[in-house]
Amino acid sequence: MGVILFELLTGERPFRAERDQKLLMQQILNADPPPSQLNSQVPADLDTLCLKCLEKDPSSD
């Protein structure tokens, strides 16, 4: 759900790579980029919501 929201806000996916293995490594090792990094018109609250949806461990609060 978070990836879909990210794509709707930015027109792009949070991570991009030519090979699946590199994409998985990016997802595991890198922090999720805030949508406002790609679209400066994204409000801060929506940025926060999207990042919450992208969390790798949604139970962590």
pLDDT digits (tens, 9 = 90+) for 3-58: 999 999 999 999 988 999 999 999 899 999 999 999 999 999 999 999 999 998 76
d(CA 41, CA 55): 22
Per-residue pLDDT, 5:
96
The amino acid sitting at 43 is: P
